[in-house]
Structure 1
Amino acid sequence: MRATPSLLALGALLLAAGCGGGEAQDPPAATAEAEPTEYVFAPGDRITVELTMYDGEDGRRTPFFSGYRPSIEFGHGGPAVECGAHLPVDLREFPPGETHTIVLECGSEVAVPVDDPGFALVEDGVERGTGEVVPTGEE
């Protein structure tokens, strides 16, 4: 049987498009996403944390309320960032000596190492509490 010009053109087109019977090619290998080394929060992002406030001589003597704006040192000793504290609806005040999950909103970008998500809450240059960032899957 004799090939017609249209069949030859079709064959050439298939070869040019990579569909022409040559060796099969493997699909591109899936690239694994690298695990993040830090959580990065933009100014105003909501950061869920578990915070323990000290009591006694090293701690606060009075509770704080939503809107409190302490300095937070992420990474224990990192640069201090002013953050607003927001208490959950069912927690009217945060008394010294207690631990609660709250939300912080910081005025500057914050980078928190995944392997050391801790922070210190500082007032007037004195550490008054400590805590950890709680990953929420939104980082």
Structure 2
Amino acid sequence: MRVTLPLLALGALLLSTGCSGAEEDAAPPPATPAQDGPAEHVFAPGEQITADLTMYDGDDGRRTPFFSGYRPTIEFRHGGLSGECGVRLPVELREFPPGETHTVVLECGTEVVVPADDRGFALVEDGVERGTGEVVLTGEG
């Protein structure tokens, strides 16, 4: 009986730790492919939207630079959504001259839905397209 108790104790220990005396005959579950991130990103009203913006110059664009706080109409390609959005320039950029491209922050007064595969928009001023851009989606997944 002395031999039986240690064997029972050893069996209980092995079972409680998930070990068994038999070899594992079951293969691990197959890996599932990771998602490439969300199909779209929803920005709440006032939420900061990082975007790469290119302003046109010459006859199609602005003739003067703009500063932080500029509030043009932004027309998103997806779903025909448009609205007035504030443009905030990076600290190191005093003004945004026509003909240049910079990363800016948009703050729109309405909810904005941006599909991962169609992030483009037009910047419109007085009914004329003055620039174009693309939302930068960070931290996807």
What TM-score do you get using the length of structure 1 for normalisation? Answer: 0.73
Match for residue 47 of structure 2? 45
Match for residue 120 of structure 2? 118
Match for residue 96 of structure 1? 98
Which runs of at least 4 in structure 1 moved beyond 4 Å after TM superposition?
28-36
What TM-score do you get using the length of structure 2 for normalisation? Answer: 0.72
How many Å apart are 1:35 and its aligned residue?
4.7
Identify if the C-alpha distance between structure 1 residues 39 and 77 changes in structure 2 by more than 3 Å, giving closer, same or farther. Answer: closer
How many Å apart are 1:100 and its aligned residue?
0.4
Does structure 2 conserve the Cα–Cα contact (< 8 Å) formed by 1:43 and 1:107?
yes
- Could you list the runs of 5+ residues in structure 1 that have no partner in the other structure? 1-27
Identity of aligned residues (%): 74
Q: Letter of the aligned partner of 1:93 in structure 2?
A: E
- Residue 86 of structure 1 is aligned with which of 79, 83, 88? 88
Does structure 2 conserve the Cα–Cα contact (< 8 Å) formed by 1:76 and 1:120?
no
Matches of 1:48 and 1:33 in 2, distance apart?
A: 25
Match for residue 71 of structure 2? 69
Matches of 1:75 and 1:40 in 2, distance apart?
A: 15
Q: What CA deviation, in whole Å up to 9, does each residue of 1:33-82 have, x standing for no partner?
A: 75551111001111110000000001001110000001101126722111
Does structure 1 conserve the Cα–Cα contact (< 8 Å) formed by 2:122 and 2:132?
yes
- Could you list the runs of 5+ residues in structure 2 that have no partner in the other structure? 1-28
Equivalent residues, number: 138
